[in-house]
Amino acid sequence: MYNVKGLVLLLIVALVLGYLVLKPLNRRFDDSDQGSWNVVRLPPFKLPALARDSFFFAVAALVNLAVVAIRSPSPTQIYRGLVTGVLSSVVRDPLAIAAYTSRVLPLLPLTVLGFVFTFAIALPATPGRRVMILLHMPLFLALSVVTDCGIALVGITAGLPIGPAPIVAMFLQYTLAFWMILRMYFTTYQLPRVTQVPVLRRGDWRDNLVMILCLGASLGLVGGLAVWLIGLTGGNTLLDFFIVISIRPAVIDLMSVLLGLTKLAGHRVEPSQERPALEVIVPAYNEAVGIQRLLRSIDRAAAEYGGPVRVIMCDDGSTDGTYELATETIASFSYATGEVIPGEHAGKARALNLALSRCTSDYVYRVDADCALEPKAFIYSIAYFLDDPRVGLVGAFTIPKEPYTTWIDRMRAIEQVFAFGFLRPTLCQVDAVPCIPGTFCGFRREAGLAIGGFVDGMFGEDVDFTCALARLGWRAQIDPRIVSYEDVPRNVPELRIQRFRWGLGGLMSFGRFTPFGNGAPGPRFWFQIPKGNLGRLFVPAHFFFLVLSLEYCIFDAGAHHNFLRFLFALALTQLPAMVPRLLVMAYFRRLSLVPWLLLWVVFATLKRFFLLEAVLSCGVRPVRPPVAIRDRYPTWGALLGQAPSPRQSEATGA
């Protein structure tokens, strides 16, 4: 029944493709970052530009139109022909091959191939880099074909029913697309060097086991439901694909529910009578509008706490009177003490590090200047440090300041109530929180000093701080009883700036803490960080798919795929995210926000669009020989008497 030589060749091809995809993920080839340890020095990135975004969508529309317009043979027929050809070299059963290939749904491979082509054209890059990006197209096409062939071989050998095969194939292709797109980003962009903080963490077996069990149970339940739903669609390709892309958020939400159940069955930390000395560091630049509210809230929290609380605010060269207002407010403190130290407008990280260098207490709190604290914030947070010597960071339930006056206030409230009221606290059960944000971050001073403070020169210093401490073995906790209020963007342009900064910060942090070949201690590194960046990196591909689906429904409309069905399917994909958010809002008595859920699709689309801008603006690496070759052979600059690069000097002992 099988051609042994063909089977062996297929296995060899699969191994080679896997090696080609996974090998660059350790980033040992990248010398973009000229900084060291806790200082990042990257070439400047590009600012977002609507012209660049419009060009991306224009290219995507033309590529998708070509995919829809090609008829004889269609892209689907070409892809199925490739799968049939490979299977025929291995299996000598034409009927079995035809049964599987007739169910192949190549919408995801076509989406990824079209996106890679669009990305190569629209990204500001040199011709050489564009060619390197385009080479990912045959790589992923081969991966996808081998995956479909592998599923068919397993099904034919084991006599499995054909029905679930398409959903299994799409799920595996979705996973492979993530690895391939991650490879493309890592080899394309100029990113910070891999962190130099060593892995000293030990004893994560329990966290890993609990995460694996909860993830497996969630995947099994959601996957079974997806198979049942696809059986009801009657082979509708568009609906089937929308169901598949809804699996990921549904799996994550159900996994969080299971983690929450294990948390409820565990130990609950209650406030202690001990009141050790605390210090609060605040970086501030032109925060005259809100700095007094923050400082007064700290004084009220100090009154509730009852122990020594000292504030060290670093004014980072403000020009709006922040320094004078902060000095006046601290002088009027009734319970806390503090000082304002001047900075030189060198950035938030340097301001934080300058304030941290003045600290002497064992416990330090970092709070951004646009926030405000609930009175019991210190009482509930210090309890975690006193209860467990492994806890190195404690975060808060962060929500927008009230009253809400704009639709963005409400959207951000919905987003944060779910994230900080449910999702992140459940992840604390297996110490998988990727970031304790600067809105409220308590930490042990010895831990912060051990990693050199806050990273300078990149976005996402709070992600870097959390992950660096985690590598040393410190655990992180978030408690919804600890409440911090923050300012949120007042309008769409401000939201654009915020999400663009977060998008670049996410890419930089993932490059710095990639778990591939760099250590993955605990679920934070082997699951949560890659999972979070899966959504971020797939944003451009999702946009491409939406354009493809829309054009498919307009120009090739039929009974199973038309514009109304497209809108219905798009709305259907939002349901897995809406249900748990409704329940969490009800628990935290935020049901007044429910009517604003009608704007959630608009808000989510804007967020994805601004992430796309970040992806299109990150600095691009030039195409040049590997470091080893450049170190061994002289460059034109060296022949002309120019100074060698730092990497060449290091390699030659200069």
The model's pLDDT over 152-169, given as tens digits with 9 standing for 90+, comes to 898 888 888 777 777 788
Q: Which amino acid is at 578?
A: M
Helix (H) or strand (E) holding 393: strand 391-400
pLDDT at 410: 95
| Residues in Cβ contact with 515 at an 8 Å cutoff, skipping those fewer than 6 apart | 525, 526, 529, 530
Helix (H, G, I), strand (E, B) or coil at 360: coil
50 vs 492: CA distance, rounded Å: 14
Q: How confident is the model at residue 613 (pLDDT cuts 50, 70, 90)?
A: very high
User: What is the percent of the chain where pLDDT is above 90?
Assistant: 60
pLDDT at 647: 41
- How large is the average pLDDT for residues 453-474? 95
| Residues in Cβ contact with 602 at an 8 Å cutoff, skipping those fewer than 6 apart | none
- How large is the average pLDDT for residues 470-483? 96
Q: How confident is the model at residue 642 (pLDDT cuts 50, 70, 90)?
A: very low
- How large is the average pLDDT for residues 235-250? 72
pLDDT at 561: 59
447 touches 538 (CB < 8 A) = no
Read off the pLDDT of residues 107-158 as tens digits, 9 standing for 90 and up.
788 888 988 999 999 999 999 999 999 999 999 999 999 999 999 898 888 8
Alpha-carbon dihedral angle through residues 69, 74, 75, 78, given to the nearest 10 degrees: -160
- How large is the average pLDDT for residues 426-453? 96
Backbone phi and psi for residue 282, each to the nearest 5 degrees, phi listed first: -135, 115
Name which residue leads in pLDDT, 577 or 405: 405
pLDDT at 241: 67
- How large is the average pLDDT for residues 290-316? 97
Q: How confident is the model at residue 194 (pLDDT cuts 50, 70, 90)?
A: very high
Joined together, the tokens standing for residue 5 give 């030589």
pLDDT of 326 strictly over 90: yes
Q: How confident is the model at residue 558 (pLDDT cuts 50, 70, 90)?
A: low
pLDDT of 252 strictly over 70: yes
pLDDT at 236: 66
- How large is the average pLDDT for residues 507-513? 91
The pLDDT mean for the chain works out to: 88
Name which residue leads in pLDDT, 239 or 388: 388
Name which residue leads in pLDDT, 55 or 64: 55
pLDDT at 238: 64
User: What is the percent of the chain where pLDDT is above 70?
Assistant: 91
pLDDT at 286: 95
Give the pairing of strands 309-315 and 371-373: unpaired
Read off the pLDDT of residues 277-302 as tens digits, 9 standing for 90 and up.
999 999 999 999 999 999 999 999 99
pLDDT at 320: 92
Read off the pLDDT of residues 29-56 as tens digits, 9 standing for 90 and up.
888 999 988 899 999 889 999 999 999 9
Residue 424's nearest CA partner among 397, 400, 387 is 397
Determine the number of helices (DSSP H) and then strands (DSSP E) in the chain.
27, 8
pLDDT of 650 strictly over 50: no
- What are the distances in angstroms from CA 637 to CA 42, 394, 620? 21, 51, 22
pLDDT at 496: 95
Q: How confident is the model at residue 634 (pLDDT cuts 50, 70, 90)?
A: low
Name which residue leads in pLDDT, 643 or 460: 460
38 touches 455 (CB < 8 A) = yes
Q: Which residue has the tokens 């980072």?
A: 316
Read off the pLDDT of residues 343-356 as tens digits, 9 standing for 90 and up.
888 899 999 999 99
Question: Lowest-pLDDT range, 165-179, 261-275, 535-549?
Answer: 535-549
Read off the pLDDT of residues 394-414 as tens digits, 9 standing for 90 and up.
999 999 999 999 999 999 999
pLDDT of 98 strictly over 70: yes
Helix (H, G, I), strand (E, B) or coil at 340: strand
Sheet holding 475-486, edge to edge: 337-342, 309-315, 278-284, 363-366, 441-444, 391-400, 475-486, 371-373
Q: How confident is the model at residue 234 (pLDDT cuts 50, 70, 90)?
A: low
- What are the distances in angstroms from CA 487 to CA 281, 290, 413, 461, 559? 18, 9, 11, 19, 48
Helices (H), 123-204: 127-134, 136-158, 165-188
